[in-house]
Amino acid sequence: MSDDSSSPASKGQSLWGGRFERKPAELMQAINVSIGFDKRLWAEDLAGSRAHAAMLAKQGIITPADEAAIQDGLNRIETEIAGGTFPFRDEYEDIHLNVEARLTELIGAAAGRLHTARSRNDQVALDFRLWTRAACDHAIGRIRALQRALLAKAEAHADALMPGFTHLQPAQPVTFGHHLMAYVEMFGRDAGRFADARARMNENPLGAAALAGSPFPIDRHATSAALGFDRPTANSLDSVSDRDFALEALAAATICATHLSRLAEEIVIWVTPQFGFIKLSDAFTTGSSIMPQKRNPDAAELTRAKTGRVLASLTNLIVVMKGLPLAYSKDMQEDKVPTFEAFDALDLALSAMAGMVADMEPDTARMAAAAGSGFSTATDLADWLVRELDMPFRGAHHVTGRAVKRAEELGLGLADLPLSELKAIEPGITEGVYQVLTPAASAASRTSYGGTAPIRVREQISIWKERLA
Ligand code: ARG
């Protein structure tokens, strides 16, 4: 063990300043410093350093005594950071150098051995990967909670009728349960995308060192196992320059945020007095400072808007990465802010949406009434003509169109058209047709796999209940 007189931190110098004669310009520090945001990686940085120090000792690269001192110092730093007493300092640029400088203050010379066979390039690649991996796991947990909320509502209203829309025009009756289960499917794919991204990113870049690997007899498999990675990354240049793990996570986040935005948009529409399909409690609405009658779905609107941030973060990082030569460039320091921002926004949006879904109460009578409006069972009439009168579908479509026109003229719904009116259009029509013209019959008849019939919806609900159990 040497004494610590050679340590730059002990002399108040920057940790990389050996060949420099002057301190950086203030502006240089202002543009270079990242501790303000990358302090968020502190737990990952300590975990990486612990694994690295243990491996160095096991390989005989540092002594057991140095390793013990380093582990002890890292533990003390953890206590300081968790307790809010750690001195984060701009002059040490980033989380890595802040930890190393503090370690030097706490344990002296041994601290200078921790960085053997390591560079900040593989260190930051490791820390950020660990953070992004945890963020994916966290997002999956939040998505599951939202799916459970949707599932509970879907089960409670598996046969509540509502209009199904295309072009936001009444199309065919569906059930509210079926509609909510559509989102369970979407969010299921979102969770799958995070899981796929996680599986691909789960390789350990530590040991790539600056860019070319290390001449020390390091064991990258050991640090991989210690940090929960499947294996070490296979190319040292790629290891320090790859950020597509973050891009992929941000792409998954963007698609998920888009789904949240669509659900939010539907909630905004459904709570309008004109639709009146659902009610949100006071917990998820706000009033207006001037219009006392208002009850605004702000949480849904903000969820819809957060999509902008998430997509912007993906765009931001893609543009940062585009055109960077191998291997590490300082541009990549700008990877963290957008990624943190996107996952913070997504976390909030997923949680708020789970809360709103659990909170919302459908007005089932109003939805059922709307389900019958807009001649929503016209397709059922056409299908009946095909089935009972053996008409070609095109002909049946034409006959149905005339029935709709007549009903419109008389100001009636299809089910209220007298048989004489229907017979005037198509003499073969009989009393039996009325059985298919109600919204309930229409929905119940759609028993094809994945269809809106309540028995099919309940099947899907029980499949998902098992999956989410
Ligand atoms: N703060 C830096 C970042 O986030 C750490 C890596 C610095 N590496 C270097 N060669 N200057 O990217």
Query: 73-119, pLDDT tens digit by residue?
Result: 999 999 999 999 999 999 999 999 999 999 999 999 999 999 999 99
Label residue 285 by pLDDT band (50, 70, 90): confident
- Residue 10: per-residue pLDDT: 54
Report yes or no: 417 and 407 within 8 Å, Cβ to Cβ.
yes
Mean pLDDT computed over every residue of the chain: 95
Token readout for 208 is 């790539």
Determine the Cα–Cα distance for residues 412 and 352; give it in Å rounded to an integer: 42
- Residue 133: per-residue pLDDT: 98
For ligand 1, say whether the CB of 124 is within 6 Å of any of its atoms.
yes
For ligand 1, say whether the CB of 328 is within 6 Å of any of its atoms.
yes
- In the chain, the percentage of residues whose pLDDT exceeds 70 is 97
**Known catalytic residue at 167:** yes
Report yes or no: 57 and 226 within 8 Å, Cβ to Cβ.
no
Average pLDDT over residues 311-335: 98
Token readout for 4 is 């610590």
Label residue 288 by pLDDT band (50, 70, 90): confident
For ligand 1, say whether the CB of 34 is within 6 Å of any of its atoms.
yes
pLDDT tens-digit readout, 17-28: 778 888 888 899
Q: Who wins on pLDDT, 157 or 290? A: 157
- Closest residue by Cα to atom 10, ligand 1, is 121
Q: Which of 281, 288, 373, 462 is catalytic?
A: 288
Distance (Å) from CA 179 to ligand 1 centroid: 48
For tokens 């009850």, what's the residue?
Answer: 295
Determine the Cα–Cα distance for residues 359 and 149; give it in Å rounded to an integer: 9
3: pLDDT strictly greater than 90: no
374: pLDDT strictly greater than 90: no
56: pLDDT strictly greater than 70: yes
pLDDT tens-digit readout, 188-240: 999 999 999 999 999 999 999 999 999 999 999 999 999 999 999 999 999 99
- Residue 292: per-residue pLDDT: 76
Label residue 5 by pLDDT band (50, 70, 90): very low
- The least confident of 73-77, 141-145, 294-298, 389-393 is 294-298
**Mutate-to-test residue for ligand 1 from 124, 206, 242, 340, highest number of ligand atoms within 8 A of CB:** 124
pLDDT tens-digit readout, 81-94: 999 999 999 999 99
- Residue 291: per-residue pLDDT: 80
The predicted model scores a pTM of: 0.93
The set of residues, in sequence order, having a beta carbon less than 8 Å from that of 327 and lying 6+ positions away, is 121, 211, 236, 237, 238, 240, 241
Report yes or no: 166 and 189 within 8 Å, Cβ to Cβ.
no
Token readout for 2 is 């040497």
Average pLDDT over residues 252-267: 98
Distance (Å) from CA 124 to ligand 1 centroid: 7
How many other CB atoms are there within 10 angstroms of residue 431's CB atom? 8
- Closest residue by Cα to atom 2, ligand 1, is 333
* Atom from ligand 1 closest to the CA of residue 330: 12
pLDDT tens-digit readout, 406-415: 999 999 999 9
Q: What angle do CA 41, 45, 51 make, to 5 degrees?
A: 150
- Residue 7: per-residue pLDDT: 57
Label residue 8 by pLDDT band (50, 70, 90): low
Distance (Å) from CA 107 to ligand 1 centroid: 24
Label residue 378 by pLDDT band (50, 70, 90): very high
CA dihedral (169, 175, 178, 180) positive or negative = positive
